[in-house]
Structure 1
Amino acid sequence: MSGPPIVPFDWERIWLGDVPPLFLLEIVFRTAVIFLWLLLLLRVTGKRGLAQLSGLELAIVIALGSAAGDPLFYPEVPLLHAMLALALVVGFQRLLSRLVVNSERVETFMQGQPVELVRDGVFNSQALERADLSREDLFERLRAAGVMQLGEVRRAYFEQDGNLTVFSHDKSPPPGLPVVPPWDLEEPARLSPDLPHHGYAACLDCGRVERLNGLPGACACGGHSGWTVAITDPLADPTGGGFAAGEATPG
């Protein structure tokens, strides 16, 4: 026997358990510590996996689920303790929500800030690191937004809720680094560093487009992956063409 037998409908056990009433104050402390710790962990892990839920909302769901689940199955968990924990979680949520509305610092800490990932067809590698995204993650999200090449993108922001907002050119986008097809299936053909190229080329490290008139050199971003032909429509030509040198001018 692990302990004394459980007496059904023992009201003192159901509501208070075998602990002194002062333990209710400890529950307040425990709930506050765990709830704030959970928020901090969610803030540190980033927003990329939150989808439509903010860190605060996800913490509420987890905390409410845990506090509401235990008293349903464990007779040693008094109902009053669980009810207090649930009320505290909701109270903390209301308090933090009010603080987020009234304080920009609290809002920034709780929800983070939008991050600009792409500007005028050039993506920012440092911004990708801050957003905890890889280049392939960015390209996948751009394809989901209907983008075929980076020249189409005027701005792309990684929002506080983990979604990507894309502002594209309405008509006649300049050529850029292709993101279609996915590079895992077909990586863009690299320009040979030993053969002259005359026309627009896109840096494979940042997407910057430059007009080359000779041997490809180093990009201003400092990358060393090389160059590929800048394209306006990667799907226009099955061979990967779609932009010939001198047909269009970026910008």
Structure 2
Amino acid sequence: MSGPPIIPFDWQRIWLGDAPPLFLLEIVFRTAVIFVWLLLLLQLTGKRGLAQLSALELVIVIALGSAAGDPLFYPEVPLLHAMLALALVVGFQRVLAGLVVRSERVETFMEGQPVELVRDGVFSVAALERANLSREDLFEKLRFEGVMQLGEVRRAYFEQDGDLSVFRHDTDPPPGLPVVPPWDLEPPTVLNPDLPQQGFVACLDCGRVQQVSGLLVGCVCGGKAGWTVATADPLATAEAEKDRQAALWSAP
């Protein structure tokens, strides 16, 4: 390795490096120039580029960060070179944004397509895989929408920007698979398949609801997780179960 030996705890090298102290003022100037230039360029990306980021916009952010970082404190990087690179990145973004508006194929390639995750209280495992979501991710997003059980959901779509669009029954939703409380805190009770059951049950693998009177059979989805009680109000059901348990403990 060539060059002078490194002296440990050389405060001049640690704090200032090889540059003279006056270079600190140049860093201030460089940062101000690049900051103002970025503000001007970001006005061209539109407000959507500053909120939810698509794949294209994420690439733009990474490219802008890389192009804007070096000229801030590397004296060998001219400001005009960095400003040209930043302008080209934003220009490419504007061209691609125009193509997305004009071409359905380009829009699908760049931003993907919405994915239907839930239909009439039943969620699709294959759709979750396409959306790169787990069952717990779906349930968490549904809870943010105020959904307590899947029977409330007529349709749920995973949109191109990563949001979940939920269409619910207006009144009196049918019973469904409970998503509250979160299963990590309180997993639903798995019904014993060797005992006869009465009423509505929900598949733990897909949320499909069946009315049974007798022994349980396998779900059409082929899942192995089993069944749990389908309910219209999981919180009320949980409170009723707590009251029942309390009554059993207090009984003589």
User: Residue 204 of structure 1: CA displacement?
Assistant: 0.4
1:128: which partner in 2?
128
Q: Hey, which bits of structure 1, 4+ residues long, moved more than 6 A?
A: 5-9
Look up the SS of the partner of 1:67 in the other structure: helix
Q: Which residue of 2 aligns with 1:246?
A: none
Comparing both chains, which one has the higher relative contact order based on Cα–Cα distances under 8 Å and sequence gaps of 6 or more? 1
| Structure-2-length-normalised TM-score | 0.74
CA distance in 1, matches of 2:56, 2:98: 12
Helix, strand or coil at the partner of 2:184:
coil
Deviation of 1:237 after TM superposition, in Å, equals: 3.2
Structure number with greater Rg is 2
- For residues 66-92 of structure 1, the C-alpha deviation after alignment (integer angstroms, 9 at most, x for no partner) is 212211110111222212211110110
| Cα separation, 1, equivalents of 2:214 and 2:51 | 46
Q: CA offset at residue 213 of structure 1?
A: 1.8
CA contact (8 A) 2:199 2:212 kept: yes
* Higher share of residues assigned helix: 2
Q: Secondary structure of the equivalent of 2:234? A: coil
Aligned-residue Cα RMSD (Å) equals 2.2
> Do the aligned partners of residues 74 and 195 (structure 1) sit closer, same or farther apart at CA in structure 2, a change above 3 Å counting?
same
d(CA) in 2 for partners of 1:65, 1:125: 37
1:91–1:170 Cα change, 3 Å: same
Residues 124 and 87 of structure 1: CA distance in aligned 2, closer, same or farther (over 3 Å): same
Identify which range, 70-79 or 109-118, moves more after superposition.
Answer: 70-79
Query: How far is 1:240 from its partner?
Result: 6.2
SS at match of 1:236: helix
CA contact (8 A) 1:152 1:168 kept: yes
Aligned-partner Cα distance in 2 for 1:232–1:188: 14
- Give the alignment of 1:64-213 within 5 angstroms: 64-213=64-213
Query: Counterpart in 2 of 1:221?
Result: 221
Unpaired runs of at least 5, structure 2: 4-17, 24-49, 242-252
Separation of aligned partners in 1, 2:80 and 2:142: 50
1:112 corresponds to which letter in structure 2?
Answer: G
Superposed CA deviations along residues 213-250 of structure 1, whole A, max 9, x for unmatched, are 21111001111111011100011133566xxxxxxxxx
CA, structure 1 residues 240+118, in 2 after alignment: closer, same or farther (shift >3 Å)?
Answer: farther
State the 1:164 CA deviation.
0.7
